């Protein structure tokens, strides 16, 4: 049976752990709000891109781009957006379970985050590139990932590119999800995807009658807009993954803090019982000695 000294030491240790997990919970909560705000800040750009693409469609009905080319998928690249650190519950485990479903013989992997790189090395899957991103992902970080994936597709090294990430649903719920990044498919499908992600309504008939002039020409503008669309999508997925990470970590740290506080209560109760038993024993010894002397 542990002594009262051992229990006091354990109570002190658990209280220190609870302080740490509580602090991590507060930090994760603050970062989660910033990540959510970052995702919202991208929406005006998406809405404007959707509007421009709708007007471009009138003059580029037969528009084709190499990144829109659909071909039989013999080889595939998968971008895994994970975290750099742990202590976020089952967020990474659920993501890696989805990654394990891909055929290792025909799939190349791009790791975004240290945990993804560790998983790929541990399971001996083909890792072709590794990227990192900050707590507040930048558009430049998204462009670097996007350009590398585009290069694989344009060179014919892969026929499709998927992104595995964790979709942010709400603070208590995050779900691993897959997004087909390349090929883009028809222009209409791409415009619809931009509009949906921007939460923008289809243009009204009155708005469609407004004439726009594009310089130097609609096709050149469309060429640039297609590339921005891919970069933008990667940036959005990075922000979703980061918001999911901070949410999962906040919930995990809250649960850890609650468990630590409950453990302190249980240990305190056990300590009080031992202390009471010790006092009762001493009183009995004193009474017995007094009776013996009497």
Q: Which contiguous run of DSSP H or E holds residue 166?
A: strand 160-170
Given 32, 56, 88, 91, which residue is catalytic?
Answer: 88
How confident is the model at residue 278, as a pLDDT?
A: 76
- Separation between Cα atoms, residue 134 and residue 145, nearest integer Å: 14
160 with 269, same domain?
A: no
Is residue 60 over pLDDT 80? Answer: no
* Whether residue 200 has pLDDT greater than 90: no
Which residue reads 């649960």 in tokens? 255
Closest CA to 76 of 113, 126, 116: 126
CATH number at residue 270: 1.10.287.80
Bridge partners, 165 (sequence order): 177
Structural domain boundaries enclosing 282: 4-24+253-293
Percent of the chain with pLDDT over 70: 84
Calculate mean pLDDT across residues 35-41. Answer: 75
Q: What is the mean pLDDT of residues 267-293?
A: 78
* Residue 217 and residue 274 in one domain: no
CB within 8 A of 253, min separation 6: which ones? 21, 22, 24, 25, 28, 87
**CA angle 131-23-87, nearest 5°?**
40
Q: What's the CATH code of the domain at 145?
A: 3.40.1380.10
pLDDT, greater one: 160 or 217: 160
* Spatial distance between the Cα atoms of 159 and 169, rounded to a whole number of angstroms: 30
134, 141 contact by CB (below 8 A)? yes
- Give the pLDDT band of residue 182 (cuts 50, 70, 90): confident
Please tell me the total count of domains within the chain: 2
Does one domain contain both 152 and 276? no
Same domain, residue pair 78 and 111: yes
pLDDT value of residue 47? 67
Report CA-CA distances (Å) from 233 to 2, 83, 216, 226: 57, 19, 26, 11
Task: Work out the burial of residue 132: count CB atoms within 10 Å of its CB; fewer than 13 is exposed, 13-18 middle, 19 or more buried.
Answer: exposed
CB 191 within 8 A of CB 50: yes
pTM for this prediction: 0.80
Q: Is 92 a catalytic residue?
A: no
140/273 same-domain check? no
Q: Report whether 108 contacts 126 (CB < 8 A).
A: yes
Residue 181 — φ and ψ, nearest 5°? -80, -45
Q: Three-class SS of residue 54?
A: helix
The mean pLDDT of the chain is: 82
pLDDT in tens, 115-149: 999 999 999 999 999 998 888 888 889 999 999 99
């Amino acid at each position: 049976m542990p002594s009262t000294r051992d229990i006091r030491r354990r109570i002190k240790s658990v209280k220190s752990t609870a302080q740490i997990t509580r602090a991590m919970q507060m930090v994760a909560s603050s970062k989660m709000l910033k990540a959510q705000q970052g995702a919202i800040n991208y929406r005006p750009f998406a809405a404007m891109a959707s509007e421009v693409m709708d007007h471009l469609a009138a003059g580029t009905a037969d528009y084709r781009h190499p990144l829109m080319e659909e071909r039989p998928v013999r080889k595939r690249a998968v971008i895994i957006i994970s975290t750099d650190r742990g202590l976020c519950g089952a967020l990474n485990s659920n993501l890696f379970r989805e990654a394990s479903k891909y055929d290792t013989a025909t799939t190349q992997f791009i790791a975004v985050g240290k945990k993804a790189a560790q998983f790929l090395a541990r399971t001996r899957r083909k890792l072709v590139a590794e990227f990192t991103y900050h707590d507040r992902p930048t558009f430049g970080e998204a462009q670097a990932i996007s350009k590398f994936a585009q290069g694989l597709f344009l060179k014919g090294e892969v026929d499709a590119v998927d992104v595995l990430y964790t979709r942010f649903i709400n603070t208590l719920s995050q779900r691993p999800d897959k997004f087909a990044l390349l090929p883009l498919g028809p222009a209409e499908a791409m415009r619809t995807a931009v509009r949906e992600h921007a939460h923008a309504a289809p243009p009204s008939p009155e708005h469609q009658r407004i004439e726009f002039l594009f310089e130097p020409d609609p096709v050149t503008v469309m060429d640039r807009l297609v590339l921005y669309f891919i970069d933008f999508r990667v940036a959005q997925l990075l922000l979703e993954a980061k918001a999911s990470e901070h949410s999962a970590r906040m919930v995990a740290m809250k649960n850890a803090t609650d468990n630590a506080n409950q453990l302190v209560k249980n240990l305190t109760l056990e300590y009080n019982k031992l202390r009471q038993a010790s006092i009762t024993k001493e009183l009995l010894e004193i009474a017995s000695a007094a009776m013996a002397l009497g």
